[in-house]
Chain A
Amino acid sequence: MSKDQQGEQFMVDLLQHLRSSMLYTDLYTAAQEEASKPSIKITELRKGVLSGLVNGGWDRKLQNAIYYYMQTHSCQPHQSDSEHHKEPLVYIRKAQQNWEKKILKSLNSMCTELNIPLAKKRLEQEQKDMLSRWTELGTDGPDLSQIRPVYAPKDFLEVVTGLQNLNYENALTSGSNFHNFWGVIQVPVKVKSIDQLRLQYSEMAVNQCQIGVDDVSDISADLFDVEQTRLSNKVLAAKHAPTAQEYAKKGCPTSARGELWCQIMGIEVTDVDILYYGQLKTSVIQHDLLVDNLLYKDVKLTATNDDHYFVFEDFLYQVVLLPFSRDTVVLKHFEHNSTTPPKSYIRGKLGVEEFAVVYPPNGVIPFHGFAMYVAPLCYVYKDVVTLYYVFRHMYMHYFYRLHSLSSHPQGIVALSSLFERLLQMSEPELFQHLVRIGCQPLKIAFKWLMRAFSGFLASDQVLLLWDRILAFDSLEILSVLCVAIFCFRKTNLMKVTTFSAAEVSVRPQYTPSSYLGRDEPLCDVDLGLLPLLDVQQAGKAMIIGRLRSHVLPSLSVYHIG
């Protein structure tokens, strides 16, 4: 297809999409109302109706609708079912397939071992019982002692680094400069240069005010917060997605975040949505899935033990995780993804395609830490249904990329590579030191990337970070933040000689144990003490103040030359 043809096809699809949307009917009705107003002159019918619609705010709604469509549909050749389109690199496709097979196999063997089916219908009594415990599923839950996470970031990292051998030759011949690259990602994925990133994130430069930074003097930061909060009311009132998104680049005030995010993502919970969520809940109550146990276990292993999130334990099961696994809408994201949803077969029909069903219904097998994609959202939404749709949107637009193989610039492979290259460029000495002691930096940073930092930063910091993911519509900020943390901890890192010491000293919340004297080593000392320790770095203009707040405007931390 030529460029023109592509564009034409895109318009056709867009119009098709709009015509079948709710907005179309609403707009139609509104237009009819306008037309029948007595003030309308028949000679100027078109003009009159149009201006009436504009006055009623319909142009904004239409703009928003097109904007949301553009976010999800790129102006690319339209062959959603072609494997090539989903993932052009054959060896990545293959690796993904192998990985999926491995996950399924371990899921199946868990079934066999524990002698439980992948899914079973609950008895009437069990259903009643479940319903009555709906808001406290955390207590008296199923026996989880035998349940293990199917995989953890560590396992997935192996797969990602395993990509290197496959087509190394290719990479060399394709003219990239991989031979002087020290990292573990050896796949020729395209990543941005620091200059491109600077341009992209220009709003985050050191000289710009930001919400959530306290390196500037109190007064100007306070003033900025006040101003930003005042502005947020205006932005919210405009109900215009691009405006909200632009605004969020400087960070959202806590009280406006929920609504701003919804506007950016185009989430407006309707009766239909509420009904749909209700159906998901019903199907949770009717069927017992093995993945439920995985989700339960995951919450127990992560959020339940986390200072920031333990209060939300029950909320996590109830609101999000269990309904999510039943939600077949989630399957849509596979259209843009090299991943294929795992299939299972109805009992006794193994391998017979007609009896294959996607398992779990949403096609997502949770890994260790999955619940942490949801946990921070509990600070933003108290309405369960809104929280659900926000999470689903974030998963389908961003988070799925963090645990599937692809060569997409937003995929985990590219993010890992971006991290390594930026670090190598800005801190070659540090990188070499770490490699020398057998500590590839990605081995530390990978889990941060994979979980979008949830659980590795204080809750407010995670939210400030996610503001930027939505605002810049990109996950690249994650890699930049990883680099920032390494730069920030350079002094300590240059002194360590083992992997575990490196891992400890780079934790976002860390202070050498010597600081606290008599007690056993402390790894999670909060950051107020840090400037005292990192005097050298503080002087480097890279960090002025506390990491905690710096972590966010990471580009200002990551301030080279």
Chain B
Amino acid sequence: MARVKYASDFDKSVLLNNFDARGWVQVTPDDDWNFYWAGVHNIRNIFGVETGFRMGDDQVINHFPNHVELTRKDLMVKNIKRYRKELEKDGSQLAEKDETGRFVHLDFIPLTFMLPADYNLFVEEFRKNPNTTWIMKPCGKARGIGIFLVNKLSQLKKWSRDGKGNSFVAPTAKETYVISKYIDNPLLIGGKKFDLRLYVLVTSFRPLKCYMYKLGFCRFCTVKYNASVNELDNMFVHLTNVSIQKQGEDYNAVHGGKWTVENLRLFLEGTRGKEVSDKLFDEINWLTVHSLKAVAGVISNDRHCFECYGYDIIIDDNLKPWLIEVNASPSLTSTTSSDRIMKYKLISDVINIVIPPGELPDVRWCKVPAKEHYGNFYLLYDEDLAQADLLNQEIKVRAGAGNAMVRGARDLRKPSQATWK
């Protein structure tokens, strides 16, 4: 067993217990580590040009240098918009639109504008549908901080006045906002709103290799949902962030408002049938892969990096999933004991996929772990495999051998027989 040297910016038990259990040795980030679980703030320094830091072949780290392309709210939206445009330009059938101009296959984020940059565009849209509720979110914050709902333009005017918004100085990420159409028809269970927190592991962007974690969970609000205007500023109704809900008087510390995705599926399949449930989860896989493909071109695909993202997804009452945001550093704090167990397993499973079993990290490694090392992950998409399969398929089709299943795209069935380009 190789003795891995690890560094960690967090002293979370779910991390340290894992490292301990493997007999790894702790070193500081300045030492020669093999495995570094870094905070996002340190990533900038490590990969910054001025540090000139070079990593060895036996070093891996848990973030990509410019992950913000995916994990900052405004950049994610920009990249997805650009991705769709490019596909459209290429005449890809993925970019198919319906008669109202909506993308048929790639309409998975709520309509979003950047503020202040897109203010005029937003006003135009607002005037078209004046009875819509919008949600304002600061680009550089997390955990529900600074979020508010808006249903009148005057509320925005007030915001720009209060926020000493000086239009002559380029705003920093902290001052820029995204404003998104508020999903006001979320699927309710027991009368309450919830969203999904799913973990997605990416070991490479080019070629794309990503895994979905089976043990994601739903985060429930503690107060019954109520779309009425009077409740717009009641964050216990609208925001599912645990950090917000924890403040509520109805917060239950035993389960923390967390319900497993497995239970969600059991419930949906039992009460609504297999077909619609399968479709929902297929669509979630689909949007995840495309959100990653949307940034694959711009992420600097450093071989030393892997990243475990926290996807926030809301399901509406038509059982359509919407991507809300992607977190680079999903919380590893455990609110309940099952939470701790789940997160412990998550980290353990991540390690088993990113490091060859029982060895030191090796960036020259093919990054294709054996299936028995997937743990609770399943392979979402492997571009190499998908391409190989496509090729095989072509050969077979030419040889008249029928169609093979696309291996890289297991679990990804989509209405149109989409090609993975």
Contacts and interface: CB of A to CB of B under 8 A. Distances in A.
Interface of A: 135-136, 139, 229, 253-255, 257-258, 304-308, 310-315, 378-382, 458-460, 463, 515-519, 522-526, 528-529
Interface string B5-40: 000000001001100110000000000000000000
24 contacts: A136-B191, A253-B274, A255-B277, A304-B252, A305-B254, A307-B259, A307-B336, A308-B259, A311-B189, A311-B220, A378-B267, A379-B267, A379-B270, A380-B271, A382-B271, A517-B16, A517-B21, A518-B17, A519-B17, A522-B340, A522-B341, A524-B341, A528-B345, A528-B375
B376 interface: yes
Contacts of B191: 135-136, 314
B331 to A, nearest CB: 17
Contacts of A312: 190
B258 to A, nearest CB: 7
Interface residues of B, number: 41
Contacts of A528: 345, 375-376
A518 B16 contact: yes
A304 B275 CA distance: 30
A524 B337 contact: yes
A310 B21 CA distance: 33
A549 to B, nearest CB: 13
A305 B250 CA distance: 12
B263 A255 contact: no
Given A379-B270, A463-B266, A517-B20, 6 more contacts: A229-B274, A310-B255, A311-B192, A315-B190, A516-B21, A524-B337
Contacts of A382: 271-272
Contacts of B281: none
Contacts of B259: 307-308, 310-311
B384 interface: no
Contacts of A529: 345
B289 to A, nearest CB: 22
Most B CB within 10 A of own CB, among A255, A382, A459: A255
B206 interface: no
A516 B266 contact: no
Given A306-B255, A311-B190, A517-B21, A524 B270 contact: no
A459 B266 CA distance: 8
B338 interface: yes
B260 interface: yes
Nearest to B274: A255
Contacts, number: 106
B393 to A, nearest CB: 21
A518 B13 contact: yes
B51 to A, nearest CB: 33
Nearest to A383: B271
Contacts of A458: 262
Given A310-B255, A311-B259, A522 B337 contact: yes
B20 A518 contact: yes
Contacts of A314: 190-191
B139 to A, nearest CB: 32
B413 interface: no
A493 B190 CA distance: 40
A525 B340 CA distance: 9
Given A136-B191, A517-B20, A522-B341, A379 B271 contact: yes
A364 B260 CA distance: 33
B39 to A, nearest CB: 21
A307 B267 contact: no
B182 interface: no
B344 interface: yes
Interface in B386-400: none
A307 B252 CA distance: 10
B189 A307 contact: no
Nearest to B339: A307
Contacts of B273: 255
Nearest to A525: B341
B258 A307 contact: yes
B290 interface: no
A311 B267 CA distance: 11
B246 interface: no
A518 B18 CA distance: 10
Nearest to A514: B21
B340 to A, nearest CB: 7
A257 B272 CA distance: 11
A390 B277 CA distance: 24
B255 A307 contact: yes
Contacts of B258: 307
B234 to A, nearest CB: 14
B78 interface: no
Nearest to B258: A307
Nearest to A255: B274
B189 A526 contact: no
A254 B190 contact: no
Nearest to B375: A528
Across the A-B interface, the 10 shortest Cβ-Cβ residue pairs: A255-B274, A382-B271, A517-B17, A311-B190, A254-B269, A305-B254, A307-B255, A379-B270, A380-B270, A255-B269
Contacts of B279: none
A328 B314 CA distance: 44
Nearest to A523: B337
B260 A307 contact: yes
Nearest to B20: A517
B224 interface: yes
B147 to A, nearest CB: 24
B364 to A, nearest CB: 30
Contacts of A229: 274
Contacts of A517: 13, 16-17, 20-21
Contacts of B274: 229, 253-255
Given A258-B270, A526-B341, A459 B17 contact: no
B255 A305 contact: yes
Contacts of B272: 382
Given A517-B17, A526-B341, A310 B252 contact: yes
B341 A254 contact: no
Contacts of B13: 517-519
Nearest to B269: A254
A145 B367 CA distance: 57
B371 to A, nearest CB: 9
Most B CB within 10 A of own CB, among A254, A312, A379, A460: A254
Contacts of B220: 310-311
A518 B269 CA distance: 39
Contacts of A254: 266, 269-270, 274
A526 B344 CA distance: 11
Contact of A459 (B190, B263, B344): B263
B215 to A, nearest CB: 9
Given A255-B269, A307-B260, A315-B190, A524 B338 contact: yes
B407 to A, nearest CB: 15
A310 B218 CA distance: 12
A529 B344 CA distance: 11
B21 A258 contact: no
Interface in B255-310: 255, 257-260, 262-263, 266-267, 269-275, 277
Contacts of A255: 269-270, 273-275, 277
B349 to A, nearest CB: 9
Contacts of A526: 338, 341-342, 345
Interface in B55-112: none
Contacts of A257: 270
Contacts of A308: 259, 263
Contacts of B344: 516
Nearest to B277: A255
Contacts of A304: 252
A519 B12 CA distance: 11
B20 to A, nearest CB: 5
Nearest to B253: A305
Interface string B341-360: 11011000000000000000
Contacts of A523: 337
Contacts of A381: 270-271
